A = this chain, B = another copy of it.
Amino acid sequence: MVHGRVIALSVTDVRFPTSVDQHGSDAMHTDPDYSAAYVVIETDAKDGLKGYGLTFTLGKGTEVVVCAVKAFAAHVVNKELEEIVGNFRGFYRQLTSDGQLRWIGPEKGVVHLATAAILNAVWDLWAKQEGKPLWKLLVDMDPKKLLSCIDFRYITDALTEEEAYDILKKGKLDQKEREEQMLKNGYPAYTTSCAWLGYTDQQLKELCAGALKDGWTRFKVKVGADLPDDIRRCKLIREMIGPDNLLMLDANQRWDVQEAIDWVSKLAEFKPLWIEEPTSPDDILGHATISKCHNKVMFKQFLQAKALHYLQIDSCRLGSVNENLSVLLMAKKFQIPVCPHAGGVGLCELVQHLILFDYISVSGSLENRMCEYVDHLHEHFKYPVTIKKAVYMPPQDAGYSTEMKEESVRQHQFPDGDVWQRLISGQNV
């Protein structure tokens, strides 16, 4: 079905100066400029379709990811799209196991972010050529074909291909009903927009009141920099949202293990549902209750060690849809609810597709499940998320919702775009 040969892969360093207003600030990232390495893939097909992909970054370092994308480009350019998605497992492994580039990962950090940006563009193009939103492409896909996109290396001790096939076969049962349910009711979301660490109490109150009015019932608060400050802010929010709404905490890797235990016990009175990233994201034995991981091998162990109560997938840190599929399937086997990480630049746009697929075709459950939502930067996307009363409404446009507006990309290109040129001439950046 797919067609065309890749004739060009370009990548742009796009940055939004969010640090100016402390949007996105937390205990470890005090001044993030939400950014993306933004990939565009062109083919020689006459359909005029391009694939857009991105990975999310925090400002400085985006140029490093851009550099890594360029290093991978030779694996993509001049390939037939059919050659790529027809043996997607092989292509995935070609990127992640490049004999020279593997050394500077493997499958983690800069090279894995670059892999995600490139493969996100491939998935976008594939879905566009099929004329479907990505979630629908996945939902309609034959289980065998779907499994052929996953590299099972390093996870077969937790999940074999046969087990994955059984999960997907069972997922077909009542799939149609769940799809209709999603189209009608949407997927439940929680908001992180009210309580960034750098916000004043006044800002926090106003944002919280507005969110309640918009129907939000689940709220996440950034903590971990200063205990008395955390207590004051948690108290304030709990008072605002009342005893029945949900409250989640995120420490963004700030603590040592014992420190985390002590600190969280002081915040327990505010009844948080989970505490996110209490310590190093590498620390499986440090017992996070919810954690973002850098690859499937880390998720596998968190699941095997029963160190997770909720699992956060990430559309841009893992190796695109391919690796996220493997994690969704492992989560199903280990019966751990998936609550995706989102926010940043485009993470909401992308991850909604994955969690819709998860509900419709894998987990079949909404129990203890919700998808993060952050209300920033959607205006720069051509197909932004639709949130209605605190739920994600399934996107209808073909593709992976990854495409940004041309004008936004041009303006925010670092350092030559107008936005940056103005900031650089007017003030220190």
Give A residues with C-beta under 8 Å from B: 28-33, 57-61, 63-65, 67-68, 71, 97-113, 152-157, 253, 256-259, 279-286, 294-295, 297-298, 300-301, 304-305
A93: min CB distance to chain B, Å: 11
Task: Check A64 against B60 for contact (C-beta < 8 Å).
Answer: no
A295: min CB distance to chain B, Å: 7
Q: Residues of B contacting A257 with CB < 8 Å?
A: 154, 156-157
Nearest to A261 among chain B residues (CB) is: B157
Copies of this protein in the assembly total 2
A282 CA / B283 CA spacing, docked (Å): 11
A173 CA / B298 CA spacing, docked (Å): 41
Q: List 16 A-B contacts (CB under 8 A).
A: A29-B99, A58-B100, A58-B103, A105-B109, A108-B294, A109-B110, A109-B111, A152-B256, A153-B280, A154-B279, A157-B258, A280-B297, A282-B295, A282-B301, A284-B285, A285-B305
Sorted nearest first, the 7 A-B pairs with minimum C-beta distance are: A109-B109, A110-B110, A60-B100, A157-B257, A59-B100, A58-B103, A154-B280
A28 CA / B99 CA spacing, docked (Å): 6
- Residue from A107, A109, A157 whose CB has the most chain B CB atoms within 10 Å: A109
Task: Check B57 against A64 for contact (C-beta < 8 Å).
Answer: no
A243 CA / B279 CA spacing, docked (Å): 47
Task: Check A104 against B61 for contact (C-beta < 8 Å).
Answer: yes
Task: Check A256 against B109 for contact (C-beta < 8 Å).
Answer: no
A29 in complex: contacting residue of B102, B285, B297, CB < 8 Å = B102
Task: Check B31 against A64 for contact (C-beta < 8 Å).
Answer: no
Task: Check B61 against A101 for contact (C-beta < 8 Å).
Answer: yes
Task: Check A301 against B283 for contact (C-beta < 8 Å).
Answer: yes
A111 CA / B305 CA spacing, docked (Å): 28
